[in-house]
């Protein structure tokens, strides 16, 4: 409940989140993927998931087939809500 309240309250604010839980990251407006201090990709979660070779898509796939399907659907639903 608190998590939803914070996300709603800060919806229009810029936030930087260092997260290791894909469920948290999937709700972000934009995702920045880095490795060794270099930017690998930066876009919305749904856009990053469109490219199966992206590091973000690979991380989502590591959660398992059913979880990855749910996460992709969640990212797409949130993308539609933002429009």
How do residues 30-66 score in pLDDT, each as one tens digit? 998 888 888 999 999 999 999 999 999 999 999 999 9
> Among the residues of 22-82, which ranges form H helices?
22-25, 45-50, 55-61, 65-82
Q: What is the pTM of this model?
A: 0.74
Contact 16, 30 (CB under 8 A): no
pLDDT at 9 over 70: no
The pLDDT score that the predictor gives to residue 56 is 92
Structural domain includes residue 58: yes
Structural domain includes residue 2: no
Structural domain includes residue 8: no
Structural domain includes residue 29: yes
Domain count, the chain: 1
Structural domain includes residue 3: no
Residue numbers of the domain that contains 68: 17-82
Structural domain includes residue 76: yes
Structural domain includes residue 63: yes
Structural domain includes residue 10: no
């Amino acid at each position: 409940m608190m998590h939803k309240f914070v996300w709603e309250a800060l919806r229009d604010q810029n936030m930087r989140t260092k997260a290791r839980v894909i469920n948290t990251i999937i709700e972000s407006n934009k995702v920045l993927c880095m490795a060794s201090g270099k930017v690998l990709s930066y876009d919305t979660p749904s856009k990053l998931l469109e490219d199966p070779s992206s590091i973000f898509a690979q991380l989502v796939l590591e959660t398992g087939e059913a979880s990855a399907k749910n996460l992709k659907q969640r990212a797409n639903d949130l993308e539609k809500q933002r429009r």
